[in-house]
Structure 1
């Protein structure tokens, strides 16, 4: 994705800007961080990518920036379906309690390659709710795109690291590629982040270009913002020195 370039004008960072422009700059910084992570192969960068993905996809970041245009986003993902009910937020918060059932020796894994053909368009909500990984032991565990991001960001060290695991539980939970706590090549959850990241960047590209054009226009039409700030500082310093001389 080297053809993508969403660099914010340096001159704009030096100006007083509106709260909306500040949010747009933060948004583009998130996207550029994701672009960088997508160009790296390490587990660390996939864990790191989970945080801006959480901010934008799960915590309302995209809705704040795109507003009504959120419904115009198109996520191209695998058309195949894994049926079932995804884990709840409560399940994810208490994932360590599910470990004994997840780590059984007779697991059946249904792994859906999200970024592989055949593809079809999904809306924002359809994509985040899509089940992309199923683990069958004595129970059936279905992980949606949202579940995967939550696990890696909130439990795997993206934003938080899960506490409360005994050494025996950690050893047990790290057996097998399914474990979100195993930082190794082929880890199912980190591979899923890589797929989600690719699909997201392709989907968000047109919106980013539109925001860049808007910021460039704002920058060109607000030349006084930086100079006014400079004039204020110079006036303040001049008044300060004059007062010191009078004292």
Structure 2
């Protein structure tokens, strides 16, 4: 069983409490509930969470508004939960720092499965044996696998879990072209189901961190009609 601190943020208390009950039945014991964005931000500043379920439509500041501020306090995976399910809404969630997107109404056990998948990735990165030190050097940036860290021109750059996992995959396979479908299946561990926006957004988030000019990438490049590759 994965041990994890979980934060659930939803102004609909019945949904938050139901999800907490399901998680406890599945063996998770450290679960905090908050019912608005400001309270969620305060919680993240006071405690280290391993995963966050964040509702978008809340009174006051929405989940999309509060997410960037939460991101400054933690690199834990953020799963947006919302009644909105359009591609634009999903892209907006990924753009502000989200790692996954769950649309209401949802199957609670599916949410549990996604939480487990995110935790396996996130906790594996954070707790890997430090004696197994592996650093990938790419000119202006370096990726340290064992420390789950990205350094660009000598400065540490925060990197959310899935963005780091995708970058690490590229680092392990330099100069090879991967399609969006291959990347999604390798990093997310699932079939794509006709949604290639997730990979595209995460590639953009990598470029924002490693490229001198993300609009004219020199490292993580697009190979027209085939996919992406990281040039070494």
Q: Structure 1 or 2: larger strand share?
A: 2
The reply to whether TM is greater than 0.5 is no
Please indicate the TM-score interval, normalised by the length of the shorter structure: under 0.3
Larger relative contact order (C-alpha < 8 A, sep ≥ 6)? 1
Task: Give the number of the structure whose residues are more often helix, by fraction.
Answer: 1
